[in-house]
Structure 1
Amino acid sequence: MTIDFTRKDFPEGFEFGVATSAYQIEGSDFGGCGRSQWDDFAATPGNVVRGENGAIACDHYHKWAEDFDLIKDCGLDSYRFSTSWARVMPEGRGQVNQQGLDYYDRLVDGLLERDIKPYACLYHWELPSAILDMGGWRNRDIADWFADFAEVIMGRIGDRLHAAATFNEPWCIAWLSHFLGHHAPGVRDVRAATRAMHHVLLAHGKAIQTMRGLGMDNLGVVMNFEYASPVDDTPQAQESAKLYDGIYNRWFLGGVFNKAYPEDVVAEIGQHLPDNYQDDFETIAAPVDWLGVNYYTRKVIAPNDSGQFPYHDEIEGPLPKTAMEWEVYPQGLHHFLTWADREYTKGLPIYVTENGMASYDEVEDGEVADPVRIDYLNQHVAAVKQAIADGSPVKGYFVWSLLDNYEWALGYDKRFGLVHVDFESLERTPKGSYLGLKEALVK
């Protein structure tokens, strides 16, 4: 199995990159990093496989130069990383950790020295524990605290970034973590989730305004999308899939680009929104320059008769699955790239900011064969190519992820990396997908 695409298949200037996140690779034990909700969540029995955490992770804090050399050697154009709020401001407010600022300074300079474009994301789920103590994303004041964090970190590195985003995956920050309870802080409460869904977007808007005030441009937001397939053709199944799509996909796009939340979702949870929430849309809809699309899979949705919102079950689908038990459905990526452009962003540049798959890769004789990942990448890059042919302004594709890393509540089992990491020795071994991509990008 080989990579079957090259640069020549895409418009001039199209970027190929890789993405990571701070807590998953850096090591929170290092450099004066403060405690985050993920340290607390992982320390609570039953939340994370084997109680594993990001204390050391891939030790990217010390091994970043080696990792950046891997990006450079692969021929990739761009690197998307996140900054840790807890590393920069250990209590979330007030005192700044200079070691943290110096670290991100080194990262940006190290990328530029290698001619790699730095794409920074302010927040990839590392909420400082002290902010969670004050209500976290349920507290409206978090929008101002987050804007303050944006001013501190971007005041240091914003002048050298190619692009910056506010949030990675608002759905995960709010719904996965406050309604489903699968991620930190592990809450299962519809009112908490609804408040979080609004406050994260308010914080987004305020951070965009703050970065504009610093003279920054090329600003965006990264959202995740899942294609919702009804289990059958009945009206009930169609409605269930539509509501799933509303919560997952249309809510966040609607707030940022349409100054409105989808009516079908508001009809169900609108009573939990803050009073006069509509007054915040002018801030939420602060203009952005691009949209990041994270896409992995689809869900098959069936109605249930529980009488409890959101009135559906997720059914196992028939398609091939990754180690995450996620179906491989590249058609969904094409759908979101064309649909988001048509219905919301209307000509703004779109980047595939995450796409990839987990497997159980092992090193054998110094090599890691991962033909299934190569096939996955081929299928999804083909969907990107078709979306461009159909008129969607897709400007780049970032693989998730550069390294095998801490996969949140699933610990270190699920490996998404182009590069294998031995979590005992921390040795890096490029996989077949990395080597295939390296060869493809020089063509």
Structure 2
Amino acid sequence: MPFSRADFGPDFHWGAAAAAYQTEGAWQQQGKGPSIWDDFTRRKGTIRRNEHGRVAADFYNRFESDLDLAQGLGLTDFRFSAAWARVLPEGVGTVNPPGLDYYDRLVDACLERDLNPWLTLYHWDLPSALQARGGWTNRNIVGWFADYAQAMAHRLGDRVPHWVVLNEPMAFVGAGHLLGVHAPGRRHLGAFLAAAHHATLAQAEGGRALRALLPSTAQVGTTFSCSYLTPHRPGHANDAAATRRADAILNRFFVEPALGLGYPLAEMPALRWLLERYQKPGDDQRMRFDFDFWGVQNYTREVVKFSPWLPLQWATLVPAKQRGVPCTDMGWEVFPESLYQMLKQFSAYPNAPTLLVTESGSAFPDVSTGGRVHDPARRAYLQAAIGQVLRARREGLDVGGYFAWSLTDNFEWAEGYGPRFGLIHIDYDTQERTVKDSGLWYRDFLGGQAVTEQGNAASSEPQTWPLRSV
């Protein structure tokens, strides 16, 4: 069915997102301390082609021209993260004035371009100095994080209307402390559970620290990674039970404590005695916080089957390539309906706040010809995802915004610079920017042009703003 921006109403937030370590570069400039990703990328074999984020998209030095491009796309909102170690090089203690000055300038530059700034406090780049003291496995991190949140609120609270506490806690806890494929590279169940519990506490404590200092009009939220889960064999009891267990870990683990429901241990009773090692009296209340919004970050669905070889969870994910379905460059199934299903799942909680899609995107190959970057698969995915958000809104779900991941190509963690998610292509040899066809489609859609049955907006030619920049 054809649709346009007008179908979402005048107050819907339209944006794109970015993250400090993935885009900023400037890893040692003006007093910034090292982060766990600076350390992790120095270890051979952790990142494809041994790449790193020391320069990345050079956003630190190019943010004004990148925001010009964002404005030219017609975005109303821009989500970015602060690098904790840029603000507090040791993680605690003395603030680094140039670091805070940088975020001052970035926020002001957003406002000058009528881009609402959405500031994420933590997007995975813990200061190395705190990792040396145990990082997320040290309960003291709850206080360290609250102090960092207060420093940011004191400086920027008068101009930033939307705050995000954590980016995808299950991702940085699970991939970094259980699977070992992300920083800090640990593979230990105890480290995972300790980090998970402390992140749950920090999620709420960070929210309280912000709300105590921000104006009453400010919105405080957090984000959750999630995947729509279906059983490998429909109707098979073991696969159905495995799917429920996977859902408890991947989709519910950080959401339900914030609502005062505690951890979803009914499906995973074996975790109860392990978590009790890290919980203290009163933690159930400390984990609660009434967020103004939740950010839903969904890229795909996962198919789950029972596995007798994986104790505790007794479940495994069936890779998309084994299932013979269309995949992105990340190996993720192309399944935009997953976004609708997760919006529906989160909306079903009593007292669920407003939902926003704070990340949604796809990595596909780009084809550069004649000064243009063609990416038809990404454009089709973007349109389909937005259509699924409209489907949710038409069913009465409280969904208030959509942020494409990402504004520009960037350092994609363990995958390095191979996968490209950006609306804007970056030539990493020259740092030249070129708006992709998907970005032009987004611009035209936000400009009011309806999406036709065939999935095209009427125009895809540059108008009165630069298509490229260096």
Per the alignment, residue 40 of structure 1 pairs with 39
Residue of 268, 271, 287 corresponding to 2:270: 268
Give 1:290-369 correspondences, 5 Å limit: 290-306=293-309, 308-316=311-319, 317-346=323-352, 348-369=353-374
**Distance in 1 of aligned mates of 2:154 and 2:257:** 27
One-letter code of the match for 1:58? A
Per the alignment, residue 395 of structure 1 pairs with 400
CA RMSD, aligned part only? 1.5
Give yes or no for the alignment of 1:412 onto 2:417.
yes
Per the alignment, residue 291 of structure 2 pairs with 288
Give 1:27-426 correspondences, 5 Å limit: 27=25, 28-216=27-215, 217-232=218-233, 233-273=235-275, 274-277=277-280, 279-306=282-309, 308-316=311-319, 317-346=323-352, 348-426=353-431
Question: Shift of residue 311 of structure 1?
Answer: 2.0
SS class of match (1:12): coil
Question: Shift of residue 276 of structure 1?
Answer: 4.1
Per the alignment, residue 444 of structure 2 pairs with 439
SS class of match (2:158): helix
Change (3 A) 1:25 1:314: same
Relative to the length of structure 2, the TM-score reads: 0.91
Moved more, 211-220 or 402-411: 211-220
CA contact (8 A) 2:361 2:406 kept: yes
Question: Shift of residue 357 of structure 1?
Answer: 0.3
SS class of match (2:372): coil
**Distance in 2 of aligned mates of 1:380 and 1:345:** 25
SS class of match (1:320): coil
**Distance in 2 of aligned mates of 1:95 and 1:77:** 35
Question: Shift of residue 8 of structure 1?
Answer: 1.2
Question: Shift of residue 338 of structure 1?
Answer: 1.6
One-letter code of the match for 2:299? Y
One-letter code of the match for 2:301? R
Residue of 15, 19, 22 corresponding to 1:21: 19
C-alpha offsets along residues 344-378 of structure 1, whole Å, 9 cap, x if unaligned?
A: 543x2110000000122242221101110111011
One-letter code of the match for 1:243? R
Q: What are the ranges of 5 or more consecutive residues in structure 2 without an aligned counterpart?
A: 449-470
SS class of match (2:31): coil
C-alpha offsets along residues 78-113 of structure 1, whole Å, 9 cap, x if unaligned?
A: 000001101111111112111110000000000001
SS class of match (1:102): helix
One-letter code of the match for 2:164? A
SS class of match (1:368): strand
Change (3 A) 1:285 1:334: same
Moved more, 280-289 or 370-379: 280-289
How many residues align? The count is 440
Change (3 A) 1:313 1:307: closer
**Distance in 2 of aligned mates of 1:4 and 1:410:** 36
One-letter code of the match for 1:360? P
Question: Shift of residue 439 of structure 1?
Answer: 1.1
One-letter code of the match for 1:439? D
Change (3 A) 1:86 1:400: same
**Distance in 1 of aligned mates of 2:244 and 2:150:** 38
Relative to the length of structure 1, the TM-score reads: 0.96
Moved more, 311-320 or 195-204: 311-320
Question: Shift of residue 5 of structure 1?
Answer: 4.3
Question: Shift of residue 31 of structure 1?
Answer: 2.9
**Distance in 1 of aligned mates of 2:130 and 2:241:** 37
CA contact (8 A) 1:259 1:284 kept: no
Greater share of helix residues, 1 or 2? 1
Change (3 A) 1:63 1:254: same
CA contact (8 A) 1:320 1:328 kept: yes
CA contact (8 A) 1:254 1:344 kept: no
Q: What are the ranges of 5 or more consecutive residues in structure 1 without an aligned counterpart?
A: none
SS class of match (1:160): coil
